[in-house]
Structure 1
């Protein structure tokens, strides 16, 4: 079973949860312990990645340590073609659709594609957009942030991603955001597209996670 098939099967049962671990934020052993705990309490997959500080070394070490302790898929959430790990189970082949820098829309993807082919990594095409406040990822990618009250713009991006053949759509408020993506925006996007929707950034409390789940 591919990682994509696994995710789709899990989604048929309802909303899924994925845990994001930044390999630059702690050593690989600590990262693996976090992942093991997350798996034990029910997360469906581990995503590994970060906006800055990801290197080939810390990426490989983190993924290898996580895979020693976890059976659920490890998916790479890339920040660029400079670090790509053969040890991941899959990679989000993603485009930052609202970046004003072509590097993040298609440039890094062109650089990385031959490497991904050589490594034999499973790819999951994903459209990725950044919502206010955006935090570090919005700054690094030079994103034209989607205003929190502009739900129709978010819907338009989601439809564009779907019509371009992307298999997932990700709404990102940014790691460390004081607030998650608005529930009303999540609801509008979910109502208008048929591809799976992922929401990340600023979700700290169980109540926030439940609200996002209920919205879409």
Structure 2
């Protein structure tokens, strides 16, 4: 049975083709509530909160609580570890880092966090998290055996494995601040075989890139670093969301 948030996201995808899920880092954003309101106004379909290095649960809980007071779209946890679980969120990307070399990030952290997700009635979104490329915090912290950017067939293999294990979401991640994004060719290859919701993130900073990835078949695109570091991020985000939607028409 799919939950309320998953159903809402699917409706948004059916309506727009590709949706935007901006990522707010709970430890780096000084005005998360204001940013959340602005991304909703720009057309975001949900907000991810967390990150690969977020460790302060109290700060996370406060950020999630403040965001929820200012938006109507779902607030979804994007945990890098068990510390990324907050009772205030609507849902959580309950992720397994499939290409990690450390079993902790494949099943260990998930087992430790599962009871907290259940206790706080957070809707779990079963997600295969797949790291593409090296050199980012997600790659380092998750001890990933990263998929090379030019090896789309490896991404297909992991994505199909995720599907056969019942994961309804696949997240191809180049990582926050990545030097390059997941290539449209890889997205298209995964889209050809994977039947669930396909999320792509990392290194996506322009409407052109967002449009290319959307056209290749991404259901959702995550934008994070641009919001944290670009003074003109509001205009750029609006343009990116417009490009995503036009690409799938």
TM-score, normalisation: structure 1 = 0.96
Inter-partner Cα distance in structure 1 for 2:54 and 2:7? 31
* TM-aligned CA deviation for residue 68 of structure 1: 1.1
Inter-partner Cα distance in structure 1 for 2:55 and 2:213? 28
Inter-partner Cα distance in structure 2 for 1:134 and 1:8? 32
Write out per-residue CA displacement over residues 41-89 of structure 1, whole angstroms, 9 at most, x where no aligned residue.
1010000011113311111111111111111000000111134211000
Structure 2 alignment gaps of length 5 or more? 218-249
Partner of 2:236: none
Write out per-residue CA displacement over residues 122-162 of structure 1, whole angstroms, 9 at most, x where no aligned residue.
11100010001351100001000001111110000000000
- Secondary structure at 1:36 match in 2: helix
Partner of 1:22: 25
Write out per-residue CA displacement over residues 71-114 of structure 1, whole angstroms, 9 at most, x where no aligned residue.
10000001111342110000111100000011100000010111
Larger relative contact order (CA 8 Å, sep ≥ 6)? 2
Moved more, 82-91 or 201-210: 82-91
- Secondary structure at 1:82 match in 2: helix
Partner of 1:73: 74
- Assess if the C-alpha contact under 8 Å between 1:75 and 1:90 holds in 2: yes
- Secondary structure at 1:69 match in 2: coil
Inter-partner Cα distance in structure 2 for 1:68 and 1:114? 26
Moved segments of 4+, more than 3 Å: none
Partner of 1:92: 93
- Assess if the C-alpha contact under 8 Å between 2:78 and 2:84 holds in 1: no
Partner of 2:235: none
- Assess if the C-alpha contact under 8 Å between 2:52 and 2:81 holds in 1: no
Write out per-residue CA displacement over residues 151-179 of structure 1, whole angstroms, 9 at most, x where no aligned residue.
11000000000000001000000000121
Structure 1 alignment gaps of length 5 or more? none
- Secondary structure at 1:179 match in 2: coil
Partner of 2:62: 61
